[in-house]
Amino acid sequence: MRGKLGWDGAVFLGLIILLMGLGTYYARSPGATAVLRDEGPWYGNWRAVAFSVLLFSAFVVGLLHPFKRRDWRGLGLTEAYLVALFTEMFGVPLTIYLLGSVLGFKIGFSGLEGHLWATLLDRLGVLPQAQGVALVMGGSTILILAGLALMAAGWWAVWRAKGALVTGGLYAWMRHPQYTGFILVIIAFLVQWPTIITLIMFPVLVAMYWRLARREDTELEARFGEKYTMYERQVPMFFPSPPRKVREDTT
């Protein structure tokens, strides 16, 4: 079934507006202001760890539908990534400890200096710490919003299809927009709060979801036959390209 670009686009735009509103609300909250001013203790906030893991887990489970056995194995690795990320973000700064003890880099334990790319820009004299944090947070927030919106809009298009093949809307640009969105989210967190563990896990996660996408392609080829084969030949897996009309004939 050819999806409707208007519906998918409306869902995509609506989610971006909603998430931007939530992000603006958070950015103006007293807690966020305290972080930017480098006030008070930052680490040891286990409630924030638990809340963040649960929040992003809900998005992954709800929008990627890990219902098959192999998908649940992938979900386990994704959960490990989220736990490692938010434990270092709000709980214990293992990467900062290792950088200080092994490599001799002296980094403070504040909410500002935990943004390591911003800290690097500050140490190199490129941007002051606060401006570097604003740059890192701005860029990563855009990627997170775009990634979550892709995941949600892709899910919505598939749900509306009720089991039929979707080749329009976002799926005219890429075959697996939900996985593309998820990869954007994990890239965003590497920009916002890089850690040794998540840097190591990133290529493993990308390879895992690439293999999962290939398996889904194989299943869809078996289910829809030449129609999906033609679609697969013309539409890339993850990286979008301008949509072209999907031919359904075999000549």
Question: What are the DSSP calls for 164-187, one per residue?
Answer: S---SGGGGT-S-HHHHHHHHHHH
From 74-78, 88-92, 130-134, 226-230, the region with the lowest mean pLDDT: 74-78
Parent domain of 191: 5-234
Q: What is the pLDDT of residue 68?
A: 61
Average pLDDT over residues 127-140: 92
Contacts of 65 (CB under 8 A, 6+ apart): 71, 155
Tokens of 173: 């640009």
Distance between CA atoms of residues 27 and 239, nearest Å: 31
Examine residue 79 and state whether it is found in any structural domain, yes or no.
yes
Has residue 251 been placed in a domain? no
| Within-domain flag for 170 | yes
Tell me the CATH number at 222.
Answer: 1.20.120
pTM here is: 0.78
Q: Note whether residue 166 is domain-resident.
A: yes
**Residue 229 belongs to some domain of the structure:** yes
Percent of the chain that is helix, strand, coil (3-state, to 5): 70, 0, 30
**243: pLDDT strictly greater than 60:** yes
Query: How many domains is the chain partitioned into structurally?
Result: 1
Q: What is the pLDDT of residues 13-52, one digit of tens each?
A: 555 555 555 454 444 444 444 444 444 568 888 999 999 9
Q: Is 240 contained in some domain?
A: no
Token representation of residue 220: 């869809």
Chain segment 199-233, per-residue pLDDT in tens: 999 999 999 999 989 999 999 999 999 999 999 99
Residue-level pLDDT at 222: 93
Look at the alpha carbons of 203, 206, 209, 210 in this order and tell me if their dihedral is positive or negative. Answer: negative
Mind listing the pLDDT tens digit for each residue in 144-197? 989 988 988 888 888 888 889 999 888 999 999 999 999 999 999 999 999 999
Whether 35 is in a domain gets the answer: yes
Write down the pLDDT at residue 4.
Answer: 41
Q: Report yes or no: 172 and 136 within 8 Å, Cβ to Cβ.
A: no
Phi, psi angles (nearest 5°) of residue 49: -60, -50
**What is the structure's pLDDT at 18?**
54
Counting beta carbons within 10 angstroms of the beta carbon of residue 20, is it exposed (0 to 12), middle (13 to 18) or buried (19 or more)? middle
Please report the pLDDT score of residue 138 as a whole number.
Answer: 92
Determine, yes or no, domain membership for 248.
no
Residues 195 and 89: their CA atoms lie apart, in Å, by: 9
pLDDT of residue 2: 38
